[in-house]
Amino acid sequence: MGLNVIALGGNAILDTDPTDNGQKQVVAEAAKYIADFVTTGEKVVVCHGNGPQVGNLLLQQQAGESEKNPQLKLDSCGAMTQGSIGYWIQNALANEFLKRGQQQTVTSMVTQVLVDKADPALSNPTKPVGPFYSKEEADVLSQDGSVYIEDSGRGYRKVVPSPMPKAIVEKEAVQALIAADVLTVCAGGGGIPVYQEGNQLVGIEAVNDKDFSAKVLAEDVQADRLIILTGVDNIYIHFNTPAQKALTEISVSEAEQYVSEGHFAAGSMLPKIEAAIDFVKSGENRTAVITSIENLAKMNEKVGTIIHK
């Protein structure tokens, strides 16, 4: 048994029902699987995405903007969704443990993630946020200067800058919570991107990729395993072709070869496998697993796609 960082996607939380209760229900289901995993004796830190939620919040901010009620910037909106989703997960897990009669403290914390002010990604928006649109709708919406791209065959979404995370600003606090056996939800939405200027941390109009932030978090807390949850049980090569093959247990070199051969979509599976590769290479005896949440409590059965050195 060891320390695990679990990355839960924002698209998984906002599946079909964007309402407050709809998203809470999805999180409550996810909490059952996470609680099952903790019950096996594993220590857990949870982080999550917020792409759909922060995009929807930006739309709400825009719709309600006035001189007395100006819309907030993207870093503030990221913090707001980090807080709301963190609360949903914290509340759902606490309720799940209470139902089971288990003593387990759960908390969530607003987390900043250090990025490079000179990161070229800041001038090249690639991170999808918000709802899906048709091509026609996206063409109209892009007239305000926003950029919309096709996302994994599901429609068009607004994209914003996504710099590479470097370090968790509050890592000592997270480490202290882990040492106190507190199940911690942090780095939500990839964390709030900030850069350091002198002795100040400055928020940036951007959204970090939650998989890369989860990798940085896992390194900072010296986790044994990074678990990236997605909508499928395994990663596939030759996806949606007659030669489709599920990957079960692969080495870093095999994973890197598949990446170089272009098997993984840039806005979908690619950041997950790149984050997994980087984490495994960053220390000894580290593994990464990419799988569905339904497989979470079956980790000892070697489910999903496991990447090792």
Report the CATH architecture of 3-13+23-115+168-307. 3-Layer(aba) Sandwich (3.40)
Query: Which residue numbers are catalytic?
Result: 10-11, 127, 210, 272
Mean pLDDT of the region 92-96: 97
More confident residue, 109 or 147: 109
More confident residue, 145 or 218: 218
Kindly list the strands in the beta sheet with 192-197, ordered across the sheet, starting from the edge strand earlier in the chain.
Answer: 167-168, 112-114, 192-197, 200-203
The mean-pLDDT minimum among 8-12, 19-23, 231-235, 283-287 falls in: 8-12
Mean pLDDT of the region 246-260: 95
Model-level pTM greater than 0.75?
Answer: yes
Q: pLDDT tier at 143 (50, 70, 90 boundaries)?
A: confident
Give me the pLDDT at residue 196, please: 96
Q: DSSP 3-state helix, strand, coil percentages of the chain (rounded to 5)?
A: 40, 25, 35
β-strands 192-197, 200-203 pairing: antiparallel
Residue count of the chain: 309
